[in-house]
Amino acid sequence: MRYLQMGASSRLRTTLSPWMCYYCGDCSEQCPRGAEPGETMMSLRRWLTSQYDITGISAWMYRSWQNELFLMLLVALLTGIGMVAYGFKFGGGDLSVYEGEGAFLPHHFIHLFDWAMGGVIFTLLGINILRMWYFLMRGENARPVSIGAYISNAFLMPYHFLTQKRFSECSNKQPWKMHMLIVFGYTAMLVLIVFFLEYMQEGYNLAAHLFGYLASIGLVVGLVWALRGRMNKTVTFQKKSHHTDWIFTGWLLYVVLSGITQHILHRAGLPMAANIVYVAHLMGVVSFELTQVPFGKWSHLAYRPIAMYFAQMQKEAWKAGVASYNGQLPARTVAAD
């Protein structure tokens, strides 16, 4: 808070405190001055996201809802034009063919497209994470950490990603349950689409589709829960909403519902309608992935578990510093820690 009041941006970039806060709302409820520290931490997480991003797109999106919505609509429009152009020129060229020989958007093309898009997203997000690492582990007042410590604690990233453990420690379990539904639903659908698209798009594979149905249900329930909470404002962490909260949640819900609609039309034997909705669905997917994952609110999904990992690395660095001084650290360093 002192760094924030002083405008010490270089110091703020080197702190993990905003990521350690999962905004359960307890601090804001108990603050005798009504300062709402949880909301301040949420704002700082948005600011840190923009600091990690080397392109400046994140800061531009956070500046106004018009900027964010314009970018997402632009990417969606370009995706739609590209998909339709491919379908008529290189695909089957017939909207009435959904799967198999002559499909308008064959699964092998979508599969390659998914991997190419994933490569772009991974590169952008990877650069952001490297900047995060530099600010925290090589920036001001940083201490060296051994390679062994990095390797031995690497399990913390998937562990915190899959369990959202700090959420589960909140007195109010609603945020944890809601986020788990959304995270697991999203992750399951991502795995299915990236690795098992052929089974999802053509034929009928009971295991893959059952998994997809469960993931879709989890996503819809979690997203509707989140939207209702922000409209009703009954829970502290949902009383105040940034435009990114609405756009992110609403857009992801559109992606899920359009995917479900496309699947129903396909199974109902309406290939032309299924293809049209499929294009609309892909417009939403590509726009969401290319804007929200590396630059927007969904990037928190990556930053949070990595922050838990870096927090442990900072502890390891501190322990190494203590050992090197044989327990006799300078007073200034002890006070800082």
Return the amino acid letter for 151: I
State pLDDT tens for residues 292-326. Answer: 999 998 898 899 999 999 999 888 888 776 555 55
Q: How far apart are CA 225 and CA 230, in angstroms?
A: 9
Q: Does the pLDDT at position 178 exceed 50?
A: yes
Closest CA to 27 of 1, 61, 56, 59: 1
CB-based burial label for 291 (10 Å; 0-12, 13-18, 19+): buried
Query: Is the pLDDT at 200 greater than 70, yes or no?
Result: no
Q: Is the pLDDT of residue 240 over 60?
A: yes
Rounded Cα distance, 124 and 14, in Å: 21
Give the amino acid at 273: A
Nearest to 133 by CA among 120, 124, 142: 142
In sign, the C-alpha dihedral spanning 226, 45, 284, 129 is negative
The domain segmentation of the chain, as residue ranges, is 2-321
- Predicted confidence (pLDDT) per residue in 71-118, tens digit: 999 999 999 999 999 999 988 888 999 888 888 998 889 888 989 999
